[in-house]
Amino acid sequence: MAGYELKTDGGLKQAAEALQRGHEDQQWYREWIDGLVADFEWIRRSGRGERSTFEFQQRLWEDNHVSSVGQGNVSVDRALKDEGFRTWLADRSLEPLGDSPEKRIEFLTGFYEELMKRLEPLCDRAPRLKAFRVLAALFPGELTAICYRRALRRLCFAMGGSRGTAPVARHAFVLTRLTEALGKPGPDLRDVARRVALPWLLYAGAVDRDQKEATEEPTSTPGEEKLIPLPASRRRRGACPKSAGRRFMKLES
């Protein structure tokens, strides 16, 4: 794993600090963090009425900066045009998360499961990647920027977690381990954005570095999108800055 031991607090801290330090001067990384902060601020100041509009949810689903949607093969257009779906999502997004880690995981797991159930009749395939992008944007600091389930599973295992952990719990595990190694992020949204982005740096720089490039590996799994370059790259959907062009991932829907 590129010389990093992520299962110990010391090794995780060393990797996290080195990878963040190595990216801070890169334009794509600065633009990614700026985009995340802008999204978090926009969502925070949006009330129920705005959240239920087509325009808000179009931006939330297709143009937020958590990760790229790459080819965007799984369409959510029918859902976004459904007023009942938009109203439900707006109302649900304003419910309290809970005051304990267990309650927060329970809330987000329930939200995700209900979201996928409501999307089922409105989408040809399950837009899992897009759903996690939405939840990560709606609840800053509660989920990581790794919306591709396979990559998150690999990072979680590399950090000492179980392969069998459910998706939301994997996000929570990774963020908890980072808190144990680095302390809590500051209250500023830029600090939160950097912590949300950090797991992707760890995955790309410490877990996936020595693996065969994912874009070279065919997939036969139904419902997968063959996506993207660096999540950080998405000023435009599917965009990839030249400086990050060597780091590609294939992301599923």
Q: Tell me how crowded residue 7 is: count the other CB atoms within 10 A of its CB.
A: 14
Q: Is residue 37 part of a domain?
A: yes
Q: Is residue 140 part of a domain?
A: yes
**Number of domains into which the chain is organized:** 1
Q: Is residue 4 part of a domain?
A: no
Q: Which of 75-79, 137-141, 182-186, 206-210 has the lowest average pLDDT?
A: 206-210
Q: Is residue 205 part of a domain?
A: yes
Q: What is the pLDDT of residue 73?
A: 74
What whole-number distance in Å separates Cα of residue 73 and Cα of residue 95?
30
- 3-state secondary structure string across 104-131: HHHHHHHHHHHHHHHHHHHCCCCCHHHH
Q: What is the pLDDT of residue 70?
A: 60
Q: What is the pLDDT of residue 71?
A: 53
Q: Is residue 252 part of a domain?
A: no
Q: What is the pLDDT of residue 162?
A: 86
Q: What is the pLDDT of residue 253?
A: 42
**Is pLDDT above 60 for 88?**
yes
Domain that holds residue 187: 9-244
Q: Is residue 251 part of a domain?
A: no
pTM: 0.82
User: Helices 54-62 and 128-138 sit at what angle, rounded to 10 degrees?
Assistant: 110
